[in-house]
Amino acid sequence: MTIIQKLLGAAAALALSAGAALADPALIFDLGGKFDKSFNEAAFNGAKRWAEETGGSFNEIELSSEAQREQALRRFAEAGFNPVITMGFAMADPLSAVAPDYPDTKFAAIDVTWLDLPNVRQVGFAEHEGSYLVGMLAAMASKSNTIGFIGGMDIPLIRHFGCGYAQGAKAVNPDITIIANMTGTTPAAWNDPVKGSELTQAQISQGADVIYAAAGGTGVGVLQSAADAGILSIGVDSNQNHLHPGKVLTSMLKRVDVAVYDAMKAGANMETGVFTMGLADDGVGYALDENNASLISAEMKAAVDGARASIIAGDLKVASYYENDSCPALNF
Amino acid sequence: MGKMPNWADAVLVPVISLLLAAILSALVILAIGEDPLAALQLMVKGALGSSYGWGYTLYYTTNFIFTGLAVAVAFHARLFNIGGEGQAMLGGLGVALACLYIPWPHWALALVGATATAALLGAAWTLLPAYLQARRGSHIVITTIMFNFIASALLNYLLVNVMRPKGSMDPATAKFAEATHLPTLHDMLAPLGIAFSKSAPANISLVIAVLACGAVWVLIWRTRLGYEIRAFGHSEPAAHYAGINATRITVATMLISGGLAGMMAINTTMGEAERLVLNSVEGAGFIGIAVALMGRSHPAGVLLAALLFGFLYQGGAELALWTNIPRELIVVIQALVILFTGALDNMVRMPLERLFTPRKPSIKKG
């Protein structure tokens, strides 16, 4: 932290005094903030790893208003930062406005895949495929034939997670009951562990014994309540198995840190275009480490790895919520 | 307690409060090992040092004028409307409906139409709380804040399930048509030969906001309705005795208040984003309370207070961009200003009043 602070201080001083082309990267966090224990924090970890390994420095901003999206992009591009990395789908629109004005600056947009801009690297994740695998694990680990899903804010992206999860669970056990809840309808839903805990208890009382949280900071409350009640939970984005060893069945990994690290490492020579990180390149996956080794039997692992291989090979297709804004396995 | 001269009340109290807030903020910045003078310089330069900075400062100011006026109007009737957030969300919905579904030939017509729908929906959102307050005695603070959550749930439902373009990941409406795009200050000032930053979001809604300040002044101090609102605010029984209908005044005041809050959306939704996003209000409804408190519920005061908060927002963004002062600390600085100018008003006012009151010779017995 202190190293980063020094680096950032130096970067800020340079930016202020010179304002010339620095070719340092810049990172724009989404409204959730840098320390959300999830999506943005993963990006920060990737950037930190790059800074530690290369001794480089980067600038960053935590957005606090919608109007700042375009502002931050322009200011970083003007000050010569390259590449400028953005987090979250909400940056797509500001990027379409700003990126054409700075053709010599490269932008990397995480969770954006549908723009047609020559100087933007767009990185999407096959979250539904990763969620499919943890859904299979949940169904195999459940004894009550009832599993739960707790989303953050009710937006299509989170339904996309839930949809893959439900398909995976139904593939193992077609009769399984899936209880799905969303935490809320405001951005506060990303950081409401108390509500996450309440929803967990409500789902437990309906018989759920494995609960998947795709809810940012809210998930901390889900994992805690599940561990307290002696049932299993599934973490998201980062590997959260270590939070409650032996009580977290697995985590659905979304390697945002790798995407950010790669973009920073490539620097100004970053390749642009649309990239989807899926199971094949470990962009998404399920976490297996010493904390959950006892929970995943050899049989479970074999089944999930088999499904993983067939998804990569294209024999098994997990339906995406985006295709027709609905889910074949779950109603929201 | 004696009375201060007007100038002291209007100028000295806020200035001293601001100084106190600035000193405390400086101590906080020092405590995390940053240079408060450099930070202040960065804020001033970033917010007021260029037409670009001004463009953002005035953009935020426009929001705060609308929500500040909304709260101020309600304050005159001693109604505490803390539902500006929800009313502005509904205003955003009104703007989106007007801009998406009506083929406007020119932005000026679109602006009139969208302002009307924004004000209408914003006002409609206060109707139920106002009625419940007037006829059932349900406290307006409770009901308006509850309506904020209902508004965000409604907006979320509409944006995720109904108004989102098919296949889009972003819970937002489609872009509004080109004909509805409002001229920015750059477009407006260019014919006058004044170069204004092209990328700043401040737009013609600023003019509407300033006009709204004038309209509110006329309403409160120069119309019969305004007189009734003030009379009702000073004493409900007296107003009742004078033949003023409490229900009518409560509902009318809240409708005007909600309409003003709703009009904020023409700045954010029509002027800046040019589409309706989920998070279009982002707290301006609550900042409006601080703005109205600091502006003493007077339109001129609201205008100045809104400018101050616009400065704090844009200056805060510059701090976030170029220093490693975390964004939470910028909120702390903004909160200190609110605390000193709003909540701790009497802390400055009372000693000042004592200062201005000529000391009376004390009478001693014996």
Q: Could you tell me if A67 lies within 8 Å of chain B, comparing CB atoms? A: yes
Do A70 and B323 lie within an 8 Å CB cutoff? no
pLDDT at A19 over 60: no
3 state SS for B206-270: HHHHHHHHHHHHHHHHHCHHHHHHHHHHHCHHHHHHCCCCHHHHHHHHHHHHHHHHHHHHHHHHH
- Tell me what percent of the residues of chain B surpass a pLDDT of 90: 67
pLDDT in the model for residue B243 = 93
Q: Could you tell me if A274 lies within 8 Å of chain B, comparing CB atoms? A: no
pLDDT digits (tens, 9 = 90+) for B84-116: 999 999 999 999 999 999 999 999 999 999 999
Q: What is the mean pLDDT of residues A310-321?
A: 93
pLDDT in the model for residue B339 = 86
Say which residue, A189 or A210, is predicted with more confidence: A210
Q: Which of A8, A66, A75 sits opposite B279 (nearest CB)?
A: A66
Confidence of residue A10 (pLDDT cuts 50, 70, 90): very low
Q: Which of A12, A322, A323 sits opposite B169 (nearest CB)?
A: A322
Give how far Cα A118 sits from Cα of A82, A95, A103, A267, Å.
15, 12, 8, 16
pLDDT in the model for residue A1 = 42
Q: Which of A59, A93, A155 sits opposite B160 (nearest CB)?
A: A155
Q: How far apart are CA A225 and CA A228, in angstroms?
A: 5
State the nearest Cα–Cα gap between B89 and chain A, in angstroms: 12
pLDDT in the model for residue A188 = 80
pLDDT in the model for residue B171 = 86
State the nearest Cα–Cα gap between A145 and chain B, in angstroms: 30
Residues shown for chain B: 366
What's the CATH fold of domain B62-323? ABC transporter involved in vitamin B12 uptake, BtuC (1.10.3470)
pLDDT digits (tens, 9 = 90+) for A151-208: 998 888 999 999 999 999 999 999 999 999 999 887 788 888 999 999 999 999 999 9
B39: which 2 tokens? 């930070």
The partner residues of B247 in beta bridges, in order of sequence, read none
- The SS3 of residue A60 is strand
Is the Cβ–Cβ distance between B114 and B95 less than 8 Å? yes
Per-domain boundaries in chain A: 2-125+257-277, 131-253+297-324
Which B residues 174-203 touch A at CB under 8 Å?
175, 199, 201
- The SS3 of residue B281 is coil
- Beta-carbon contacts below 8 Å between A and B: 92
pLDDT at A15 over 70: no
What CATH number should be reported for the domain whose range is A131-253+297-324? 3.40.50.2300
Which B residues 133-162 touch A at CB under 8 Å?
149, 152-153, 155-157, 160
Say which residue, A10 or B244, is predicted with more confidence: B244
Q: Which of A64, A185, A325 sits opposite B152 (nearest CB)?
A: A185
Q: Could you tell me if B313 lies within 8 Å of chain A, comparing CB atoms? A: yes
- Tell me what percent of the residues of chain A surpass a pLDDT of 70: 93
pLDDT digits (tens, 9 = 90+) for B287-308: 999 899 888 899 999 999 999 9
pLDDT in the model for residue A33 = 81
pLDDT digits (tens, 9 = 90+) for B338-355: 888 777 777 888 888 888
Please give the sequence-ordered ranges of beta strands (E in DSSP) within chain B, or none if there are none: none
Average pLDDT of chain B is 90
Per-domain boundaries in chain B: 1-34+324-357, 62-323
pLDDT in the model for residue A161 = 95
Helix or strand run (H / E) with residue A39:
helix A39-54
Order of strands across the sheet that contains A107-110: A59-62, A26-29, A84-87, A107-110, A120-125, A273-277
Taking CA–CA distances from A124, the nearest residue in chain B reads B169
Mutation test of the interface with chain A: which of B60, B61, B160, B264, choosing the one with the most A Cβ atoms within 10 A?
B160
State the nearest Cα–Cα gap between B192 and chain A, in angstroms: 25
Confidence of residue A23 (pLDDT cuts 50, 70, 90): confident
pLDDT at A129 over 80: yes
State the nearest Cα–Cα gap between A159 and chain B, in angstroms: 10
Confidence of residue A146 (pLDDT cuts 50, 70, 90): very high
Rg (Cα) of chain B, in Å, rounded? 22
Mutation test of the interface with chain A: which of B146, B321, B328, choosing the one with the most A Cβ atoms within 10 A?
B321
pLDDT digits (tens, 9 = 90+) for A286-314: 999 999 999 999 999 999 999 999 999 99
Q: Note the ipTM here.
A: 0.80
Do B320 and A187 lie within an 8 Å CB cutoff? no
Do B316 and A157 lie within an 8 Å CB cutoff? no
pLDDT at B1 over 50: no
Burial of B356 by CB count in 10 Å (0-12 exposed, 13-18 middle, 19+ buried)? middle
Q: Could you tell me if B50 lies within 8 Å of chain A, comparing CB atoms? A: no
Residues shown for chain A: 332
Q: Could you tell me if A31 lies within 8 Å of chain B, comparing CB atoms? A: yes
Taking CA–CA distances from B60, the nearest residue in chain A reads A67
Which B residues 239-278 touch A at CB under 8 Å?
268, 272-273, 275, 277-278
Give how far Cα A145 sits from Cα of A178, A207, A303, A305, Å.
9, 8, 18, 22
pLDDT digits (tens, 9 = 90+) for B57-68: 999 999 999 999
Q: Could you tell me if B169 lies within 8 Å of chain A, comparing CB atoms? A: yes
Do A74 and B199 lie within an 8 Å CB cutoff? yes
Mutation test of the interface with chain B: which of A6, A62, A68, A113, choosing the one with the most B Cβ atoms within 10 A?
A68
- The SS3 of residue A108 is strand
Do A67 and B149 lie within an 8 Å CB cutoff? no
pLDDT at B72 over 70: yes
pLDDT in the model for residue A17 = 42
Average pLDDT of chain A is 89
Confidence of residue B357 (pLDDT cuts 50, 70, 90): confident
- Tell me what percent of the residues of chain A surpass a pLDDT of 90: 74
pLDDT at A31 over 90: no
Is the Cβ–Cβ distance between A58 and A27 less than 8 Å? yes
Highest-pLDDT range among A28-42, B2-16, B242-256, B309-323: B242-256
State the nearest Cα–Cα gap between B138 and chain A, in angstroms: 25
Q: Which residues of B touch A18 (CB under 8 A)?
A: none
CA-closest candidate to residue B292, choices B73, B126, B60: B73
Q: What is the mean pLDDT of residues B138-158?
A: 94
pLDDT in the model for residue B360 = 62
User: Same CATH fold, A131-253+297-324 and A2-125+257-277?
Assistant: yes
pLDDT digits (tens, 9 = 90+) for A230-248: 999 999 988 899 999 999 9
pLDDT in the model for residue B364 = 57
CATH 3.30.470.20 fits A2-125+257-277, yes or no: no
pLDDT in the model for residue B363 = 62
Q: Could you tell me if A17 lies within 8 Å of chain B, comparing CB atoms? A: no
Q: Which residues of A touch B155 (CB under 8 A)?
A: 185
Q: Which residues of A touch B181 (CB under 8 A)?
A: none
Confidence of residue A13 (pLDDT cuts 50, 70, 90): very low
Do B166 and A325 lie within an 8 Å CB cutoff? yes
Q: Which of A68, A154, A155 sits opposite B317 (nearest CB)?
A: A68
Q: What is the DSSP letter of B173?
A: P
Is the Cβ–Cβ distance between A55 and A264 less than 8 Å? no
Q: Could you tell me if A297 lies within 8 Å of chain B, comparing CB atoms? A: no
